[in-house]
Amino acid sequence: MSFQIALNFEDGVTRFIEAGGHETVADAAYRQGVNIPLDCRDGACGTCKCKAESGRYDLGDNFIEDALSEQEIAEGLVLTCQMRAESDCVISIPASSQVCKLEQARYQAVISSVEQLSESTLALSIKGDALARLAFLAGQYANLQVPGTEHSRAYSFSTLQKDGQVSFLVRNVPGGLMSTFLTREAKVGDSLSLVGPLGSFYLRPIQRPLLLLAGGTGLAPFTAMLERIAEQGSDFPVHLIYGVTNDFDLVEIERLDRFTACIANFTYGACVANPESQHPLKGYVTQHIAPAHLNEGDVDVYLCGPPAMVEAVHRYMAEQGLTPANFYYEKFAAAS
């Protein structure tokens, strides 16, 4: 039996490999062209020490404490020259992908649909045989090359990959390279390439309540995460607060409603910052965080939005004197 191992490098690149239960992760990676830093291969030097973020595995028994201590084992550290997977795993590699002689994966696809969800938001879907081999962690992003140019733009996957198709939410930026292409030139069947997956913002194993905070098209990684949660379920509450500037910026509400129907512990609220809004919930995301959502700090917070929103949430947490168990965030700014 083989398992899927996601190797996350410190420069944000992710590469998936297959590892059989009989082989070490380091050997499996090397067999597939990924050179995890190592020296002795005997569990003595600690050079290949990495952090296992999730999954079940056998640590092996051929290593010394100087290479991997009991405290490090308790913190989830492993020696990849000894570790053997017993399930799918996610491993953080404390080195860049370039050090590991890893080239970023590039995929060719074609546009399957472009939909203007609102004045400010576009939905782009692409498909292709190559994408059937694309694996990523829910929440990650890819760099999409703007057709006809040498420029790329970063967009979070808003869906999981299914039958060689993935989707993205794209901010409709006046004068933006990708926005201009999608609104004026794009046709179904047009070729498009992407590089990825990338990013350290992704859904971890759910071990406590989740608070998801989305700003604008920062909703995209959360809809992919919710697809994953719908597949695997959650024993803990998951609450999303989705904030936008104007009423017309609200998109994917029907999709969020469907998630409430298929994820037993999922709830959400959407708010609009414009004081002239006709929406029932007005104000900023931080104004709609209830004490129950923070669970006295025993909560994992995921935040994706523009820089001002990310900074505002950090200030809010500091003012509350509260430190979440885990706080994962990604900030983005529109490129013209």
pLDDT in tens, 286-326: 999 999 999 999 999 999 999 899 999 999 999 989 899 99
Q: Angle CA(10)–CA(13)–CA(15) in degrees, nearest 5?
A: 115
Q: Which domains does the chain have, with CATH numbers?
A: 2-93 (3.10.20.30), 106-198 (2.40.30.10), 210-331 (3.40.50.80)
Beta bridge partner(s), residue 189: none
Task: Please write the tens of the pLDDT for every residue from 138-151.
Answer: 999 999 999 999 99
- pTM (predicted TM-score): 0.87
Of the two residues 161 and 41, the one the predictor is more confident about is 161
Are 178 and 187 within 8 A, CB to CB? no
Phi/psi of residue 200, nearest 5 degrees: -100, 5
Q: Which pLDDT does position 333 carry in this prediction? A: 66
Beta bridge partner(s), residue 156: 141
Mean pLDDT, the chain, integer: 93
Average pLDDT, stretch 164-171? 97
Are 301 and 327 within 8 A, CB to CB? yes
Task: Please write the tens of the pLDDT for every residue from 49-81.
Answer: 999 999 999 998 888 888 899 999 999 999 999
pLDDT at 336 over 60: no
Q: Which pLDDT does position 302 carry in this prediction? A: 97
State yes or no: cis peptide before 197, omega within 30 of 0: yes
Q: Indicate the burial class of 225 (C-beta count within 10 angstroms; 0-12, 13-18, 19 or more).
A: buried
- Structure tokens, 232: 């695997």
